[in-house]
Amino acid sequence: MKDGLSVGIAGLGTVGAGVLRLLRDNADLIAARAGCRITVVAVAARDRARDRGVSLDGLRWHDDAVALAADAAVDVVVELIGGSDGTAHELVMAALEAGKPVVTANKALIAVRGDEITAREGASVRFEAAVAGGIPVIKALREGLAANRIGGIAGIFNGTCNYILSRMQAERLDFATVLADAQAQGYAEADPSFDIDGIDTAHKLAILAAIAFGRPVAFGSVHVEGIRGISALDIGFAAELGYRIKLLGIARATEAGVETRVHPAMVPLASPLARVDGVHNAVVIDADPVGQVVLQGRGAGAGPTASAVVADLIDLARGRAAPMLGVPHEARVAAPSVPMWAHRGAYFLRLMVVDEPGVIADVTAVLRDYGISLESMLQHGRSPGDAVAVVMVTHETGEAAMTAALARLATLPAVQEPPALIRIEIA
Ligand SMILES: NC(=O)c1ccc[n+]([C@@H]2O[C@H](COP(=O)([O-])OP(=O)(O)OC[C@H]3O[C@@H](n4cnc5c(N)ncnc54)[C@H](O)[C@@H]3O)[C@@H](O)[C@H]2O)c1
Ligand SMILES: N[C@@H](CCO)C(=O)O
Ligand code: NA
């Protein structure tokens, strides 16, 4: 057995404390697999006195997290503070400057600064925990599927959104009610916007797309929509039509380049993603020649996230090396990003219209003008003079035509509310 790997951890919140616990609880098993002891020797956090349920006795304490990089006793820096700027960024750059490898769970940092980091000569940064927490998706894509051409990736990458949508579906509750309850129970952050507005999913998707397509991390090119606009009414219609609504991150190779988008989508009940409920994450990878690979599990929480952080530490202890994003920095190709307006797919469209003769003719005239063909249409009951929901599912259509048609539909006198549009995804 080698001498061992000495670890410095910055940030002792949910994940940091989870890593300390996992390294303690499974120490022998981890040492046997790593071929040496992995020992935390130093930590940096904000509050030394806080009870984290795990002892800090015997560990060197740094008030300044960046000082961990210069601590001679530390072989590898584990960054678990979070954020793409500030201390997390400074610490990672200082560790690389000092020639030390870094392990992080920080998707914002890798999504926003991945290229700055990989451009550094000899940089060793591992981030399995950053995407889908405990699911080993980075390793699957970068290593297990290294011989494959990747056609596309579609996944549920945010447990908070999936929890909210699952409860809306199961209990027929509206978004605001479930969000408030999720916050009260500590599932959703006090400021939940990174989760529910799709930014967290976009961070993760940008990282996966870079690995899948051998290109730079292009977070700025990801089309992002969140779940605030999803109504209990549309969840009900989705169920009636044989779909579930999920917040998906999708990266797909098209003839024009790479499409990366985050938005709520209707997925058919037969899709592996339709059955993934609660805080679980899942990812479907289409690869050639292997075909479809599906991974599912827990994408967040102390234990699952620590599982991924410690796996990266074990890789380091074993001396395993892989280019951070699958191919060396200089070998990456700048595949063009396809803008959202060029997307093609099927759409679910719901209008609240006045229930009177001729309204459907006006609506379908607009769709005809934009070359949009309908697969089905649904209206329940009658309420003459009142607003009634009319639901349409289109055949494959261009996003640009759909957006223009939607703007026109919203101006029809019979249309009482802004139309609801949800893309249909056969993932
Ligand atoms: N919680 C999860 O389930 C989960 C899952 C995957 C990835 N992540 C990522 O892991 C990282 C940590 O997340 P978390 O949930 O543990 O967050 P957290 O808020 O529980 O912990 C972060 C800790 O960092 C400390 N901190 C803040 N600024 C600091 C500074 N300047 N110096 C030292 N410590 C500082 C905070 O006091 C806090 O204890 C983030 O990048 C997050 O995105 C979290
Ligand atoms: N906030 C994220 C957790 C970690 O990525 C989620 O809800 O899935
Ligand atoms: Na992971």
Domain ranges of the chain: 5-104, 139-297+330-340, 343-424
Does the C-beta of 46 come closer than 6 Å to ligand 1?
A: yes
Q: Name the CA radius of gyration of the chain, rounded.
A: 24
pLDDT score of 340 more than 60: yes
* CATH number among 2.30.40.10, 3.40.50.720, 1.10.287.70, 1.10.645.10, domain 5-104: 3.40.50.720
Phi, psi values for residue 259, rounded to 5°: -95, 125
- Mutation pick for ligand 1 pocket among 81, 109, 161, 203 (CB with most ligand atoms within 8 Å): 81
Three-state DSSP state, 142: helix
Q: Which residue would you say has higher pLDDT here, 332 or 140?
A: 140
Question: Residue 59 above 80 pLDDT?
Answer: yes
Decide if 151 contacts 326 (C-beta within 8 A): no
Over the chain, what is the mean pLDDT?
95
Q: What is the pLDDT of residues 29-42, one digit of tens each?
A: 999 999 999 999 99
SS3 category, 12 = coil
107 is in an annotated binding site: yes
Residues with Cβ < 8 Å from 314, sequence gap 6 or more?
30, 33, 34, 38
pLDDT value of residue 204: 98
pLDDT for the residue 3: 83
Strand boundaries in 269-419, DSSP class E: 280-288, 291-298, 344-354, 374-379, 387-394, 397-398
In the prediction, which pLDDT does 314 show?
Answer: 98
**Cα(214)–Cα(76) distance, rounded to whole angstroms?**
27
**Ligand 2 atom closest to Cα of residue 105:** 5
Q: How many residues are present in the chain?
A: 427
Q: What is 204-236 written as a DSSP string?
A: HHHHHHHHHHT----GGG-EE--STT--HHHHH
Q: What backbone phi and psi angles, to 5 degrees, belong to 304?
A: -60, -40
User: Ligand 1 within 6 A of 81 CB?
Assistant: yes
Q: What is the pTM (predicted TM-score) of this model?
A: 0.96
Element (H, E) at 40: strand 38-44
- Asked if 299 and 280 touch (Cβ cutoff 8 Å), the reply is yes
For residue 191, the ligand closest to its alpha carbon is 2
Which of 192, 201, 207 minimizes the C-alpha distance to 249?
201
Q: How far apart, in whole angstroms, are the C-alpha atoms of residue 245 and residue 135?
A: 22
> Which H helix or E strand runs over 264?
strand 257-268
What residue type is assigned to position 81 of the chain?
I
- Proximal ligand: closest to the CA of 110: 1
158 CA distance to ligand 2 middle (Å): 5
Which atom of ligand 1 sits closest to the CA of residue 308?
Answer: 6
Å from CA of 195 to ligand 2 middle: 7
Q: Among 1-10, 87-96, 236-245, 393-402, which is the least confidently predicted range?
A: 1-10
**Please, which residues bridge with residue 246 across strands?**
265
Check whether 1 has a pLDDT greater than 60: no
State which CATH number among 3.40.1280.10, 3.40.50.1970, 3.40.50.300, 3.30.360.10 fits the domain covering 139-297+330-340: 3.30.360.10
Nearest ligand to the CA atom of 83: 1
d(CA 40, CA 7): 4
Distance CA 276, CA 296 (A): 8
Which residues form ligand 2's pocket by a CB distance below 6 Å? 133, 158-160, 195, 200, 299-300
Which sign does the torsion angle of CA 186, 225, 391, 254 carry? negative
Which amino acid is located at 4 in the chain?
A: G
Distance CA 208, CA 149 (A): 14
Report the chain's terminal Cα–Cα distance, integer Å: 46
Active site residues: 204
User: Burial code of 72-98, b = ≥16 C-beta within 10 A, e = fewer?
Assistant: eebbbbbbbbbebeebbbbbbbbbbee
Q: Which atom of ligand 1 is nearest to the CA of 133?
A: 6
Q: Which residues, at least 6 apart from 382, have a Cβ–Cβ distance to it below 8 Å?
A: 355, 388
CB-ligand 1 contact for 4 (6 Å cutoff): no
**pLDDT in the model for residue 380:** 82
Say whether 8 sits in a helix, a strand or coil: strand
Measured in whole angstroms, how far is the alpha carbon of residue 360 from the centre of its chain? 39
CB contact at 8 A, 169 and 235 = yes
> How many angstroms is it from 262 CA to the middle of ligand 1?
24
pLDDT at 127: 98
| Nearest alpha carbon, ligand 1 atom 34 | 45
343-424 belongs to which CATH class? alpha beta
Q: In which band, very low, low, confident or very high, does the pLDDT at 312 lie, cut at 50, 70 and 90?
A: very high
**Bridge-based pairing state of the strands 149-156 and 243-254:** antiparallel
Determine the distance separating the centroid of ligand 2 and the alpha carbon of 388, expressed in angstroms. Answer: 37
Ligand 1 neighbour 133 (Cβ under 6 A): yes
Angle between helices 302-318 and 27-34 (to 10 degrees): 30
* 259 is known to lie in a ligand binding site: no
What's the gap in Å between 80 CA and the centre of ligand 1?
5
Overall average pLDDT of the 318-332 stretch: 89
Task: Give the C-alpha separation, 280 to 163, whole Å.
Answer: 8
In contact, 65 and 47? CB cutoff 8 Å? no
**Are 410 and 348 within 8 A, CB to CB?**
no
- Which of 14, 158, 208 maximizes ligand 2 atoms within 8 Å of its Cβ, making it the mutation to test the pocket? 158
Asked if residues 243 and 424 have their Cβ atoms less than 8 Å apart, the reply is yes
Judged by DSSP in three states, 163 sits in helix
Residue 380: CB atoms within 10 Å = 11
Residue pLDDT, tens place only, 80-90: 999 999 999 99
Q: How many CB atoms are closer than 10 A to CB 19?
A: 28
Check whether 171 is labelled as a binding-site residue: no
